[in-house]
Amino acid sequence: MLSTIEIECLFMETNEFGICCENCQLYWICETKWYQGEKGEKHICCKSCNSYADCLIEAVKKRVRLKKGLREG
């Protein structure tokens, strides 16, 4: 069984992790999102967000659906 950190790294490396969204309490003032933008990186959900666990759960569910050959939705 993978640890939470291993799961996070797997999804971040494959760009399957949640995108930073307006549900984040720091969305408009987030330094992490700003630095990602400066580097031209994708704005991914980070641990500063209250919805971080939700993004991780959704990424895991998406991966499971894809492995089973099911469409999203």
Convert the pLDDT of each residue in 42-66 to its tens digit. 887 888 888 888 888 887 888 778 7
With 0.85 as the threshold, say if the pTM is over it.
no
For the cut 70, the answer to whether the pLDDT of residue 36 exceeds it is yes
Cα–Cα distance, 62 to 33 (Å, whole number):
23
Task: Encode 15-36: b = buried (16+ Cβ within 10 Å), e = exposed.
Answer: eebbebeeebeeeeebebbeeb
- Mean pLDDT over each residue of the chain, to the nearest integer: 76
